[in-house]
Chains A and B, each alone.
Chain A
Amino acid sequence: MRSKLRRSILYWLVLLPLVVVILFPFGVMFVTAVRPRAELFVYPPTWGFSEFRWENFSEMWEKTNFGGALLNSVYVSVTATVIALLLSIPAAYAMSRYHFSGKGAYRTFLLMTQMMSPIVLVLGLFRLMMALGLVNNLNSLVLIYAAFNMAFTIWMLQSYFNSIPRDLEEAAWMDGASHFTSLVRIFLPLAVPAIAVTAIFTFINSWNEFVLALTMMRSSADYTLPVQIYAQVAGRYQVEWHHVMAATVLATLPVAIVFSWLQRYLIRGMALGAVK
């Protein structure tokens, strides 16, 4: 018992620097977000604040177009995630279960697309969206985010699908299930953990993406959150840091919520792995 305690303490000591590095910016963000404006630049800096100003949030919400940007971000991230999943689940299933010529080449191709950053392609993408008439349209972001995340989601899903024994589907067929029924009642329920992980990944990627959103969206009504927050800082004489930080706190929240909601699937997924 004692040695276990000692080991825990040791682990925490080793992890501490990491925890500090990760939590420090969050601390600064949170403290700044709830401070009155007058206390923004006190010297020496402190962690305290004289009052907890909820008003920072409501002021920020009103002065900037935060609500609109939030809706835009939700729309883009959710739709991109759904599209990416709808397309990559069948693709990954086919890669995992069927033989077809060019399968290896296709996998390599997917991997190679991962090596290219979308930023390198930003000009080409912009012209493509021009041609499609989608500039200044949130759907351009939906398309791009879905497309750029699919290589990863297909790889991720395929490797998980490979670990789901074929026997289970075969047993379902023998039990009288059609391919579709066995897919819906046996296969997909078992694939939920992988689907959840890829969903989280795609959602967070889309939520945080900045450069493409800045390029494609011209009018401030179409800004997503990262662009919106950037607009509060860039090219201004006076930056309302407490508002910026309040916006940042609110922008991180949905990610945290999505993650904590889906993480129980992660844990269940690990437990499922115990059954052969």
Chain B
Amino acid sequence: MSSVTIRGIKKRYGTLTVLHGIDLDIEDQEFVVLVGPSGCGKSTLLRMIAGLESVSSGSIAIGDRVINDVPPKSRDIAMVFQNYALYPHMSVYENMSFSLRLRRQAKDVIDRKVREAAEILNLGKFLDRSPRQLSGGQRQRVAMGRALVRDAQVFLFDEPLSNLDAKLRVVMRVEIKALHQRLKTTSVYVTHDQIEAMTMADRIVVMNAGRIEQIGTPLQLYDTPANLFVADFIGSPSMNFIHGTLHIGASGAHVQTENGTRLAVPLMASGRDGQKVVYGVRPEHMTLTEGDAGAPVIVEVVEPTGANIQVYCKLGETSVCAIFTDRHEFRPDQQIRLTCPLEKIHLFDAESGLRL
């Protein structure tokens, strides 16, 4: 087991730069999730750690050893591929033991390790089957087993659950997390699903267009997103954004929206009077209010999910979503007033997108 240190990593394909200098420290035993929209370079970064893509500039080290020029086979890294990449002409047992056989380990050692891994992953019954006789979830487990038998220094996962149905994904998510808690192998996990990221990660790395937007624990990202991109990406349904102008007076501060509504905001040192800002609030932090307080909105669509009610409203031209756990009655076109505790409000500079 080991730490991974990434310094100034860039990746170019010809004239196209897909990674613009990535710095990342992954500690020993940590479970780090790379998350971001499609095409942002997550897989590229992961494959560079694996040695499957060359490094254009910068350095990657495992422990103290820089591995830029070490071929994949000598990096001692195990990887789980998105489509599992099981060897179709080998049985499950042969798939799992392939790496050990390459290392010429003794037969009984191989057998013990494979059976141990199969035990952990509930694959005991399937060892003699060929991959095509397995379901998606079972194949996924075999791919995990292939990584497991090796005691590798680092595990890499590239969207390992994206081919599974929603239910199985939740099950496997829990299994992978439990497995990590037990083995404590340093892991880097790529996904574009922010829920997977939030639930599994010790730390999340949010990427966008070849750059890191923010690194932090799931709750840090949720509570204090560094910019609009992270605020939008983390959380589901995502944060409401309302454009407006910041006004700071003697009695306090507020944001004046484009349709004239005043939204109270906490006083912030970095905000300027007259600054164009984006007011952000999460749907689950909205509350109903009576009288003059709060912003008047018009109900458009109501979606009861059982556990809660999601209400989509309009504030002027801006769509706003609110989630209530209490069972209120709403009708379309009804006017309601929404408010939010001051400490739950996020303010961003409209131009740079950075948090104030």
- Given known contacts A181-B102, A275-B131, A174 and B79 CB-to-CB distance under 8 angstroms: yes
Q: Is B312 located at the chain interface by the 8 A CB criterion? A: no
**Cβ of A170 and Cβ of B98 under 8 Å apart?**
no
**Cβ of A170 and Cβ of B72 under 8 Å apart?**
yes
Q: Is B311 located at the chain interface by the 8 A CB criterion? A: no
**Cβ of B73 and Cβ of A165 under 8 Å apart?**
no
8 Å CB interface, A155-179 against B: 165, 167-168, 170-178
What 0/1 readout, one digit per residue, does chain B (74-91) give for beta carbons within 8 Å of chain A? Answer: 100111010101111100
Chain A residues in 8 Å Cβ range of B87: 168, 171-172, 186
Contact residue among B50, B74, B88, B99 (Cβ-Cβ distance under 8 Å from A190): B88
**Cβ of B73 and Cβ of A275 under 8 Å apart?**
no
Q: What residue of chain A has the Cβ atom nearest to residue B79's Cβ?
A: A174
- Given known contacts A174-B73, A186-B87, A167 and B81 CB-to-CB distance under 8 angstroms: yes
What is the interface size of chain B, counting residues whose CB is below 8 A from a CB of the partner?
A: 25
Q: What residue of chain A has the Cβ atom nearest to residue B143's Cβ?
A: A171
- Given known contacts A165-B83, A175-B98, A178-B73, A170 and B88 CB-to-CB distance under 8 angstroms: no
Q: What residue of chain A has the Cβ atom nearest to residue B72's Cβ?
A: A173
- Given known contacts A173-B72, A177-B73, A272 and B88 CB-to-CB distance under 8 angstroms: yes
Q: Is A189 located at the chain interface by the 8 A CB criterion? A: yes
Chain A residues in 8 Å Cβ range of B83: 165, 167, 276
| Alpha-carbon gap, A187 to B169, bound state (A) | 30
Chain B residues in 8 Å Cβ range of A170: 50, 52, 72, 79, 81, 85
Q: What residue of chain B has the Cβ atom nearest to residue A175's Cβ?
A: B99
Greatest chain B CB density within 10 A among A165, A168, A190 is at: A168
Q: Is B243 located at the chain interface by the 8 A CB criterion? A: no
What 0/1 readout, one digit per residue, does chain A (183-213) give for beta carbons within 8 Å of chain B? Answer: 0001001100000000000000000000000
Q: Is A112 located at the chain interface by the 8 A CB criterion? A: no
- Given known contacts A165-B85, A190-B88, A274-B132, A173 and B102 CB-to-CB distance under 8 angstroms: no
**Cβ of A168 and Cβ of B132 under 8 Å apart?**
no
| Alpha-carbon gap, A170 to B146, bound state (A) | 13
B122 smallest CB distance to A (angstroms): 22
Interface residues on A, range: 20 to 34
- Given known contacts A174-B73, A274-B132, A168 and B99 CB-to-CB distance under 8 angstroms: no
Q: What residue of chain B has the Cβ atom nearest to residue A178's Cβ?
A: B73
Greatest chain A CB density within 10 A among B74, B79, B81, B89 is at: B89
**Cβ of A174 and Cβ of B72 under 8 Å apart?**
yes
**Cβ of A190 and Cβ of B98 under 8 Å apart?**
no
B299 smallest CB distance to A (angstroms): 46
| Alpha-carbon gap, A209 to B241, bound state (A) | 75
Q: Is B71 located at the chain interface by the 8 A CB criterion? A: yes
**Cβ of A176 and Cβ of B79 under 8 Å apart?**
no
Q: Is B103 located at the chain interface by the 8 A CB criterion? A: yes
| Alpha-carbon gap, A167 to B160, bound state (A) | 13
**Cβ of A176 and Cβ of B89 under 8 Å apart?**
no
- Given known contacts A165-B83, A275-B131, A275-B132, A173 and B88 CB-to-CB distance under 8 angstroms: no
**Cβ of A174 and Cβ of B78 under 8 Å apart?**
yes
A186 smallest CB distance to B (angstroms): 6
8 Å CB interface, A67-112 against B: none
| Alpha-carbon gap, A16 to B50, bound state (A) | 58
- Given known contacts A171-B79, A275-B131, A275-B132, A176 and B85 CB-to-CB distance under 8 angstroms: no
8 Å CB interface, A118-173 against B: 165, 167-168, 170-173
Contact residue among B81, B89, B98 (Cβ-Cβ distance under 8 Å from A272): B89
**Cβ of B132 and Cβ of A190 under 8 Å apart?**
no
Q: What residue of chain B has the Cβ atom nearest to residue A167's Cβ?
A: B85
- Given known contacts A168-B87, A190-B88, A275-B132, A177 and B102 CB-to-CB distance under 8 angstroms: yes
Chain B residues in 8 Å Cβ range of A275: 86, 88, 131-132
8 Å CB interface, B37-71 against A: 50-52, 71
Q: What residue of chain B has the Cβ atom nearest to residue A271's Cβ?
A: B132
8 Å CB interface, B110-150 against A: 131-132, 146, 150
**Besides the known contacts A170-B81, A275-B86, 13 further A-B residue pairs in the complex with CB atoms under 8 A apart:** A167-B81, A168-B87, A168-B88, A170-B50, A170-B79, A171-B81, A172-B87, A175-B150, A176-B74, A176-B102, A176-B103, A177-B102, A275-B132
A interface vs B, CB < 8 Å?
Answer: 165, 167-168, 170-178, 181, 186, 189-190, 272, 274-276
User: 5 tightest CB-CB pairs across the interface, nearest first?
Assistant: A167-B85, A175-B99, A171-B85, A275-B88, A173-B72
